[in-house]
Structure 1
């Protein structure tokens, strides 16, 4: 397979090239006179029960908010943000209601990380609502993205004009609460995402009420190239961090977004290039100088190097089939027994990246927050005020945000932002086709009682 090199200089402020099966984008933002470039990398995986997810063709980068077809809430919050301090975990789509159920149903979203239950969210839905074409499917409310116009997000702006924080050329005001860019409800945020977590979906798939699947250990990678460097250019590695996990229940897939930024000083944006992609364990990507590649393409010379061989998932128009054999406990099989040696692929997420050089307030809440009933979105689902069916986790309360940063990061001589970069396309984004995972296995290999004993001993069960 030949790597698809597509430079989209007309779309993004810094031209970016995608390596392999990844969607990529860049945005430019300024803070305290310093200019930064953020690289965004997105990959999409098919859900595989009791095993690692399979890498498929990537969903496109979504530049802005996309309303849900139902007219309530959002289908997507968009992928463009300069920085996220926490990991957003989002679930969209519908739950399949068994024919024997006529009342309320509960759906569950859980994430197990390094043997511990890091996120556990339950919501109650009206199972009596009729579905289309004779199918009983209920929209999952309360676990999807929150709009930037939602009162609790909007309140974080203070007096800042929200138009300054839209598009691909932003000017971030000093003192902005970076929580404004978080689209997930607070109870659906994690400190970090390692890349090998187990995801548990309860009450979503009728034939498999407890669907467990594992992230495959993928990681986003990117390099920043400057034209002024001597060829062959190696580029400067950008430290990318996974900060969004979006699960699409209807298409049986999930997308992971990685993000990283770098100060660029007073360079001309036309003299910069970013190359980015997604690596799986044991499959390193080949890097090529993008400026040299552009010169070769202009001269119609040799083709690109081949990527490692790996099959691409087919893209049918309907959800994947499931098996009917269901395990006893929803988290059984999500970790190995304590006596087993667990190998986790190296990831770039071991240490939290340094926060952007803006002062963060000590508290998310702000006085004078507008009342929800007076907001134009009143009447839609409010997951922040609706009591959950059970606690978010059986552990202690989530830690507070890091203390305020009073000084900017060391950087080149500050310069004002140049003329605005090209804006993101205003047209609608074509919906990505659904993914079909491989055949689903019925039983996890060799865990069962040993796993339950280990999890109980670790205190993961109430």
Structure 2
């Protein structure tokens, strides 16, 4: 089965074996948007379809940066986010609440600066932070979070580090990891959904999906980040996640794909459903992924899947898409020549407030368009990096902490920078 995009959108597809027998072919379409206050815009550079999960530092022992797009289905629509919690002032902060609101999902994570618990039960605080990576390596370790901060990480003086990320409003034990990012398929929240099946996703491409595999296994988001539906014009509201705005509200522009499969019997439309919104605040982009499935007689079949893009209010039919197929060339659009200049660092005042809210966050509002993009560099020297841990390598962005106990070493953290981009396979003449 050949797949061709006559639009800027990235496409992919694969054959697999449904539980009830037979064969199926799933088409995946992905749009990448540049985040802007008010309304996002289709990005000039579209992210490729991911064939496998991408991990931070490209290390499978680290948390997942972006989940694979090539899964047969997702039982629920979902939203995930990676990036930093960012203090709204150059003063920095000792604590704040990061918020992600999309559709029925409205989730908050409490973010603390570095803290240590002494042997006598006193909490010592490090200096204020400007940025802290929203990674599960900074949440409490648990059966559901194998990369988190361990309770037994105690030094010779009886001092142990406390997690930087905690669930908002939770009392008592909570094994769900604190964070907005994707959950790895080998982690307990997803692995237990496999039942007795093997953790080998090549199996279900050649054999029917086993009876005891639950469909939500292919959902990478935490349970509280699942939605009833995602739409092409969904609204995104973020708090303390943007380098220049304490609150950012934006809406996707409403473009959507239309897919058709042409075989010997003619052409018919493939119904596509948006099932995954992934937000990367480090790069200032988000991706929306659609998926559609149709029956095939065998894994290798002849045919063409064509994917076009509709603007809001537009309605494409097969003759329109067929005409686009006839006129498509291999010409590659030009890239952006240069990136915006880095933002100058700001002076740091002496005092730092705590930003734990006294009331519920403000309702979603729109903000004026800024000249600078979300992905601009912002105070890189004030970025805190993850403390050194045995589970994953860390980046060497160390600095002194004035208020920490003298016997405590400066903490290190793995950063939130994305891993190197995967190699791009030629999916369409629009590929850059």
SS in 1 for 2:240: strand
Cα deviation per residue 1:360-394 (whole Å; 9 max; x = unaligned)?
xxxxxxxxxxxxxxxx979xxxxxxxxxxxxxxxx
Q: Alpha-carbon deviation of 1:280?
A: 2.1
Q: Is the 8 A contact 2:79 2:226 kept in 1?
A: yes
- Root-mean-square deviation (CA, aligned residues, Å) is 3.7
SS in 1 for 2:305: strand
Q: Determine if the alignment matches structure 1 residue 288 to structure 2 residue 322.
A: yes
Structure 2 length-normalised TM: 0.61
Q: Determine if the alignment matches structure 1 residue 92 to structure 2 residue 85.
A: no
How many angstroms apart in 1 are the aligned matches of 2:341 and 2:234? 23
Superposed counterparts of 1:52-451, under 5 Å: 52-69=40-57, 72-97=62-87, 98-112=89-103, 118-127=104-113, 136-141=130-135, 142-165=179-202, 171-226=208-263, 228-229=264-265, 233=266, 235-266=267-298, 269-283=300-314, 286-288=320-322, 303-304=327-328, 314=336, 317=339, 329-333=362-366, 429-430=422-423
Q: Is the 8 A contact 1:48 1:54 kept in 2?
A: no
Q: Is the 8 A contact 1:63 1:167 kept in 2?
A: no
How many angstroms apart in 1 are the aligned matches of 2:79 and 2:38? 20
Structure 2's unaligned 5+ residue stretches are 116-128, 136-178, 344-360, 368-389, 393-419, 426-432
- CA change 1:168–1:41 in 2 (3 A) is farther
- CA change 1:316–1:224 in 2 (3 A) is same
Q: Alpha-carbon deviation of 1:69?
A: 2.5
How many angstroms apart in 2 are the aligned matches of 1:314 and 1:246? 23
* 1:350 paired residue number: none
Cα deviation per residue 1:26-49 (whole Å; 9 max; x = unaligned)?
111112331000000001011120
How many angstroms apart in 1 are the aligned matches of 2:48 and 2:205? 16
Q: Is the 8 A contact 1:22 1:43 kept in 2?
A: yes
Q: Is the 8 A contact 2:196 2:212 kept in 1?
A: no
Q: Alpha-carbon deviation of 1:101?
A: 2.2
Q: Is the 8 A contact 1:165 1:171 kept in 2?
A: no
Q: Alpha-carbon deviation of 1:54?
A: 3.6
Q: Is the 8 A contact 1:218 1:280 kept in 2?
A: yes
Cα deviation per residue 1:397-456 (whole Å; 9 max; x = unaligned)?
xxxxxxxxxxxxxxxxxxxxxxxxxxxxxx971499xxxxxxxxxxxxxxxxxxxxxxxx
* 1:29 paired residue number: 16
Q: Is the 8 A contact 1:46 1:55 kept in 2?
A: yes
Q: Is the 8 A contact 1:108 1:120 kept in 2?
A: yes
Cα deviation per residue 1:135-160 (whole Å; 9 max; x = unaligned)?
94321131010000011110111111
- CA change 1:62–1:52 in 2 (3 A) is closer
* 1:396 paired residue number: none
Cα deviation per residue 1:96-137 (whole Å; 9 max; x = unaligned)?
33331241222110124xxxxx111111223459xxxxx943
How many angstroms apart in 2 are the aligned matches of 1:90 and 1:319? 28
Q: Alpha-carbon deviation of 1:58?
A: 1.6
Q: Alpha-carbon deviation of 1:206?
A: 3.8
SS in 2 for 1:288: helix
Q: Is the 8 A contact 2:195 2:212 kept in 1?
A: no
Cα deviation per residue 1:296-329 (whole Å; 9 max; x = unaligned)?
xxxxxx853899xxx99947546998xxxxxx94
Cα deviation per residue 1:261-281 (whole Å; 9 max; x = unaligned)?
011124x72412211243221
How many angstroms apart in 2 are the aligned matches of 1:201 and 1:220? 26
Q: Is the 8 A contact 1:19 1:276 kept in 2?
A: yes
Structure 1 length-normalised TM: 0.57
SS in 2 for 1:269: coil
Q: Alpha-carbon deviation of 1:202?
A: 0.2
SS in 2 for 1:125: strand
Q: Alpha-carbon deviation of 1:247?
A: 0.7
Structure 1's unaligned 5+ residue stretches are 1-13, 113-117, 130-134, 294-301, 322-327, 335-375, 379-426, 433-462
Aligned length: 297
